[in-house]
Chains A and B, each alone.
Chain A
Amino acid sequence: MSSTKKTSYRALSGAEAAAEAMRQINPEVVAVYPITPQTPIIETFARFVANGKVDTSLINAESEHSAMSAVVGASAAGVRAMTATSSQGLAYMAEVCYIASGLRLPIVMAVVNRALSAPLNIHGDQSDAMMLRDSGWIQLFSENAQEVYDNTLIALRLAENKKVLAPAMVMQDGFTTSHAVQNVLTLSDEKVKKFIGEYKPLYPLLDIRHPVTYGALDLFDYYFEHKRQQVEAMENALKVLKLIDREFFSVSGREYSFVEEYRLKDADIAIALMGATAGTAKTVVDKLRNKRIKAGLLKIRLFRPFPAEIIKRALSRVKKLAILDKAIAPGARAAIANEIRAIFAGEKNAPKIQDYIYGLGGRDIGPDDIGKVYKDLAKAKRIGELKKVRYIGLRARSSH
């Protein structure tokens, strides 16, 4: 079970990959409440606890609000504390998520993205993550189980960095990633232990020789200053993550950056998106390249802090761009479209941009759908002047 061998391939689902990283991190406290499709993470981790593979105190909370509260308490006390959730669970945690980030507690949480109710749906989309995009949490999105594992370890280092001290969510797509078994390269326990290092909390509540107060009233005279500090933390996170990614590469041989530029350098047409759909899009890009169509992909891994400069540089030579959001913002542009369009506001040589919404409530998106997006981009002349967003796979008429 627990490998002390060298780096080795394992057959793991995205959920198991998250749990395996958690086992190797061996946090002092994990507080949990089950919710589909996150449940296999805590089931797997609870087995590690029951089998004595970790030293963790596992708290079965009565709700996600309580689970996050327990994790906040543990983290303030001065230990590593983790949890996992999805959708409604994340919504129920939202209040306490702002407390975690406001108190600057480096909690790492696995989030398995799922549509928000109503209508009730258990399948994958990213609207739950977008709900908390301004909460002061770092948000890393993963394409597959391998990235879930790697991002979890990296997120811990990033969150705990003294210049950052912000909680982090490690995202994976509900079912698509969480329940699909893939080949995953894991590091040895020793390597992980060395990579994450010993946790030294900044203001541990249980250090009675240095008493501190957490959560005091902070009114108009200082609240603003503390929020400004959170902005600074996120700006620092951009610098720190670069260094951690480099260090992770030297440990694992796997190279990460804020975004993945897939055949993007000389691309005329490109798609920008986050999460598992990037895998499908890559196969479509390869097929188009074989037909000598200059297609590319921008996969966003780091959504918060938003790496605007890197994305601007990556897309600067693209002529036509489709931004694919797996979350909807009724009455406004969706999240990724909003961010990328803002980067190019007022720029003369900006790519022509078309917004798309896809995959809501787990609506399947295949190579044909993505192929059609590239086809639309290739033939469109007046792109960007189109007012309306396009919806991939949405029925405009009832079928008979």
Chain B
Amino acid sequence: MKLKSWRDIPIGGVIIAAGNAKQFKTGAWRTKKPITDKSKCTNCMRCVIFCPDAAITVKSESDLTDKEKAVFKAKTPVMLDRADYDICKGCGICAEECPVKAIEMVKE
């Protein structure tokens, strides 16, 4: 991102536009990346609940491809999609909490 001079930014460190947290890519902090083995995943959503950064997105059943439907074991209205690596800091809480050990932390 291009950095601005002291003359071109609002005073006091005040952020004057809303909804700009999405511009802040905390994914760059990560040293380890969570990789989900979808053949083990039971779609229990524990990782979604525990993720402190809401980095794990879900898909509704109607959006699933036939291939995805075949892979997932459980039949629930929503299904685990993927980790958003722009946001995921690699804290490993998802891997720790996964009851079927489907998530592995892999070095970046």
Find B13's partner among A218, A228, A233 (CB 8 Å cutoff). Answer: A218
B11 contacts A104, CB within 8 Å?
A: yes
A212 contacts B15, CB within 8 Å?
A: yes
Would A203 and B10 be within 8 Å (CB), given that A211-B18, A221-B3, A225-B5 are in contact?
yes
How far is the CB of A65 from the nearest CB of chain B, in Å?
20
Chain B 6-42 interface residues, beta-carbon cutoff 8 Å to A: 6, 9-16, 18
A226 contacts B9, CB within 8 Å?
A: yes
How far is the CB of B23 from the nearest CB of chain A, in Å?
12
Interface of chain A, helix or strand or loop or mixed?
loop
B10 contacts A215, CB within 8 Å?
A: no
Which B residues are CB-close (under 8 A) to A226? 6, 9, 11-13
Q: A225 to B11: give the CA distance in the assembly, Å.
A: 9
Which B residues are CB-close (under 8 A) to A223? 13
Chain A 65-92 interface residues, beta-carbon cutoff 8 Å to B: none
Would A165 and B11 be within 8 Å (CB), given that A225-B6, A226-B6 are in contact?
yes
Which B residues are CB-close (under 8 A) to A203? 10, 12, 14, 16
Q: A221 to B12: give the CA distance in the assembly, Å.
A: 14
Q: Is A103 at the interface (CB under 8 A from chain B)?
A: yes
B13 contacts A103, CB within 8 Å?
A: yes
How far is the CB of B42 from the nearest CB of chain A, in Å?
37
Q: Is A229 at the interface (CB under 8 A from chain B)?
A: yes
Contact residues on B (Cβ < 8 Å of other chain), bracket: 10 to 19
Would you give the 0/1 interface string for A168-205, flagging 1 where the beta carbon is closer than 8 Å to chain B?
00000000000000000000000000000000001100
Which A residues are CB-close (under 8 A) to B12? 102-105, 165, 203, 214, 226, 229
Which B residues are CB-close (under 8 A) to A103? 12-14
Closest to A211 in B: B18
Which A residues are CB-close (under 8 A) to B11? 104, 165, 202, 226, 229, 233
Q: A228 to B5: give the CA distance in the assembly, Å.
A: 10
Chain A 206-237 interface residues, beta-carbon cutoff 8 Å to B: 210-216, 218, 221-226, 228-229, 232-233
A222 contacts B13, CB within 8 Å?
A: yes
Which B residues are CB-close (under 8 A) to A105? 12
A-B contact pairs, 18 of them (CB 8 A): A103-B12, A103-B14, A104-B12, A105-B12, A210-B16, A212-B15, A212-B16, A214-B13, A214-B14, A218-B13, A223-B13, A224-B6, A225-B9, A226-B9, A226-B11, A229-B9, A229-B11, A229-B12
Binding site for B on A (CB under 8 A): 102-105, 165, 202-203, 210-216, 218, 221-226, 228-229, 232-233
- Cβ-closest 7 pairs across A and B: A104-B12, A225-B6, A213-B15, A211-B18, A228-B6, A218-B13, A103-B12
